Structure 1
């Protein structure tokens, strides 16, 4: 357990001296004055405090006895305890008969402040440990599993609980909110209250990762339920926060390294979602799963072979007219009349463009295999 520090000592002095009307000194376990209404005494050793510490008892000092000690004035010095250990001393300056009736109240108040400070410090330490644990989880490798399991036991986190990763990215019109992390702190508060078992960590000055319990219905992974939960979170964000917020939900994996993979899919979902639908604020892996899965083939000979026909179309279609035509043709499931109408062109113009696409890509666009080949190639080039 740590000793009393300067901040705690100053807090005790501030919260007690005005009420009592006498000078208050707070000493650490070495008898050094860390807090006092008399700034000239700060940093000096209080021999009365050393006596109270060594004998673990209240020490009353009259003017006569104070004169025989160094750095001491008349008053009462009471040892402060935390979990059975003497961690410092609080002293009241004044004739013992005049200040004695304050002693018990002063000691109780000081020890309450000390306990609150240590509880806060412990909570902050736990939060820092949990945040570091989350950051290690989302980049875990097979060799890390044993140490992570040991760490989770120490933190009281159940790694067997199914979880899925989500990313929250914040943009604020108020630069100060982002600079001092107030926006992120407010978002963390919303995520933690009410408590739903979320594990949260800051991955950058503008992003949070949330490892959420995955089985909201208690039985299975259901992205639709998660989507509803995200909508409710968005509704709870105060309008005065002036935030542009993006949320990306990754895919659920049930193996040991599932959270690292889930976080990766959340990252890719956020990146692709912002690119394809920049006006949206919510992006679900299931809505971009094909593109994300195909992106894993990039820079691989299989992906190069699969994407080659559509790459030829890109190279010969500088104004992207043919690419837009193909996109509409896919969206209308090959219905040429509906496709032509949506593009505001004649059906003969559409046929001409489709024939041109087939010629450039050397693909039979009227066959399912040819159409699928171009479609998958298009998916791979959407990042």
Structure 2
């Protein structure tokens, strides 16, 4: 654990703060890093005894002869995770260095812990990214995902939810926000993956519905207090592992088809629209040709407002800032042009489906 690279870093950082020579010694008693390069590779008998005894060895002029080649100073064992992994030696008169020697030892152990935990954090972060990349595939390898999560002491268990978050600020540079997301939902109940610099997928699992809702409100409150504009799509709940890829798609669909002013959009209720847009391309085009050919943009806009208003003419007029009679005229005109009555359920469903397909094509730049 106490490698030459780590030891040299400790020596450099410590000597930048102290005007003293520092030696790092391995468990066999050999100096592996030192402010005096000529001492590297030499046996330090005083430090070896400190390691073997598990206590500080002070070398001064009166006992210097007991340790062949040793200089005056203090040699202290260094521990990591409850085990002695080496020693640190500070060269100088013991009475001059004793007041800060213990601080140096504690700093050394802290640096040693950091050198271990930072790579661990990087590894955990990368492993989570790999898992999220797998989960977002149309057919994720759940066996491989289980193995990777086992390394993180995590396990997938229902219920499953997905959120897709879009922010104006690049999320790839906002690691604190993403870490806070995991902290709120619980590090063993949430995974976060970037879809693009401004888009993240949050996969939450193993939280009861009520607790998940509470944590979601806490998270939304945190996002709002950040002051960064955001929009989010939320999936339905899933119980089967095989549905995980689907709920991630649901959350993305909810975000994509949300009203511009809507901050949080639920997928619930959007299922018919998704099914319509996932149908055969030629089937969709035939529906458009049959229903929307000859219909003006204002008629399409009026129809969508009419459907959004639950077929209420007055509410539609209010939403479009039109007179009620104008809305009635346009709805009658749609029936004349298409043969479909917007006030009949079956006909309204066909018209709404056509508008969904038309709007989606417009967004993709595919409209003819």
Secondary structure at the counterpart of residue 137 of structure 2: coil
- Distance in 2, Cα, partners of 1:97 & 1:350: 95
Single out whichever of 156-165 and 133-142 deviates more from structure 2. 133-142
Deviation of 1:373 (Å): 1.0
Q: Distance in 2 between matches of 1:360 and 1:353?
A: 10
Q: Deviations over 1:34-93 (max 9, x none)?
A: 6x5xxxx36972524598469944777678879986xx8543444534357664431111
1:151 counterpart (148, 152, 155): 148
Question: 1:31 and 2:31 equivalent?
Answer: yes
Shift of 1:148: 1.6
The aligned residue for residue 363 of structure 2 is none
Q: Give the distance between the partners of 1:272 and 1:134, measured in 2 at CA.
A: 23
Structural mapping, 1:1-383, within 5 Å: 1=1, 3=3, 5=6, 9=10, 13=14, 18=18, 22-26=20-24, 31-33=31-33, 36=35, 41=36, 45-49=40-44, 52=47, 56-57=51-52, 74-83=72-81, 87-95=85-93, 99=97, 106-139=104-137, 141=139, 144-172=141-169, 178=170, 181=173, 183-189=174-180, 191-193=182-184, 195=186, 197-203=188-194, 204-213=196-205, 215-217=208-210, 226=213, 229-237=215-223, 239=225, 241-273=226-258, 277-286=259-268, 288-297=270-279, 299=281, 301-313=282-294, 316-317=295-296, 320-334=297-311, 339=316, 344-345=322-323, 347=325, 350=327, 352-365=329-342, 367-383=344-360
Gaps of 5+ in 2: 361-368
Structure 1: gaps of 5 or more residues: 173-177, 219-224
1:192 Cα deviation from its structure 2 partner: 0.7
Look up the SS of the partner of 1:5 in the other structure.
helix
Distance 1:251 1:308 in 2: 33
Query: Contact conserved, 1:78 with 1:90, CA < 8 A, in 2?
Result: yes
1:33 touches 1:43 (CA, 8 Å); kept in 2? no
SS in 2 for 1:381: helix
Tell me which moved more, 285-294 or 247-256: 285-294
Q: Deviations over 1:89-145 (max 9, x none)?
A: 311111457657876665455334423543454344334323332332232625x12
Paired residue secondary structure (2:130): helix
Cα distance between partner residues in 1 of 2:77 and 2:46: 10
Separation (CA, whole Å) in 2 of partners of 1:354 and 1:59: 95
The alignment partner of 1:33 has SS state of: strand
Q: Distance in 1 between matches of 2:262 and 2:311?
A: 28
Instruction: Note the alpha carbon deviations across 1:8-49, whole angstroms, 9 max, x for none.
Output: 51586269x65xx74434456773326x5xxxx369725245
After superposition, the C-alpha distances for 1:197-221 in whole angstroms (9 at most, x for unaligned) are 5423241333332222353237xxx
Q: Distance in 2 between matches of 1:201 and 1:346?
A: 48
How many angstroms apart in 1 are the aligned matches of 2:40 and 2:47?
Answer: 13
Structure 1 pair 236/330, CA: closer, same or farther in 2 (3 Å)?
closer
Measure, in 2, the Cα distance between the counterparts of 1:65 and 1:285: 80
| Structure 1, 324-333 or 3-12: larger mean CA deviation | 3-12
TM-score by length of 1: 0.72
CA contact (8 A) 2:88 2:105 kept: yes
Distance 1:331 1:194 in 2: 34
Shift of the 169–370 alpha-carbon distance from structure 1 to 2, 3 Å rule, reads closer
